[in-house]
Amino acid sequence: MTTEQPELVVRDLSVHAGAAEGARALVDRISLTVGKERVALVGESGSGKSLTARAIMGVLQAPLVASASELRFGSTDLRALGPRGWNALRGRHLALVLQDPRRALNAVLTVGRQLDEMVRLHGRFPYAQRRERIAAMLRAVGLTTDVLAAYPGTLSGGMGQRVVLAMMLINDPELLIADEPTSALDEALRDQMLELMCELVDARGMGLLLISHDLQQVARYCDRALVMFRGRIVDECPAPALAHSTHPYTRTLWSCRPSGRTYGSDLPVLDRDWQAGEAVQ
Partner 1 sequence: MSDVVVESLRVGFTGGRSGHMVLDSLDLAIDAGETFGVIGPSGCGKSTLLRVIGGVERRWGGHIRLFEHSLAPRQRFMGSLRRTVQMVFQDPYASLHPRHTIERALAEPLQVHRVPQPVRAAREALEEVGLPASLARRYPHQLSGGQRQRVAIARALLLKPRLLLLDEPTSALDLSTQAGVLNLLNRLKAAHRMTLILVSHDRGVIAHLCDRAAIMAAGRIVRLVERSELSED
Contact set with partner 1 (CB under 8 A): 44-45, 186-188, 213-215, 252-253, 256-264, 266-270
Residue with Cβ nearer partner 1 (114 or 217): 217
Residue with Cβ nearer partner 1 (192 or 252): 252
Q: How far is the CB of 157 from partner 1 (least distance, A)?
A: 8
Q: How far is the CB of 81 from partner 1 (least distance, A)?
A: 32
Q: How far is the CB of 179 from partner 1 (least distance, A)?
A: 15
Contact 122, 91 (CB under 8 A): yes
Residue with Cβ nearer partner 1 (127 or 263): 263
Q: How far is the CB of 61 from partner 1 (least distance, A)?
A: 19
Q: How far is the CB of 258 from partner 1 (least distance, A)?
A: 3
Residue with Cβ nearer partner 1 (1 or 269): 269
Residue with Cβ nearer partner 1 (140 or 215): 215
Q: How far is the CB of 272 from partner 1 (least distance, A)?
A: 9
Residue with Cβ nearer partner 1 (93 or 251): 251
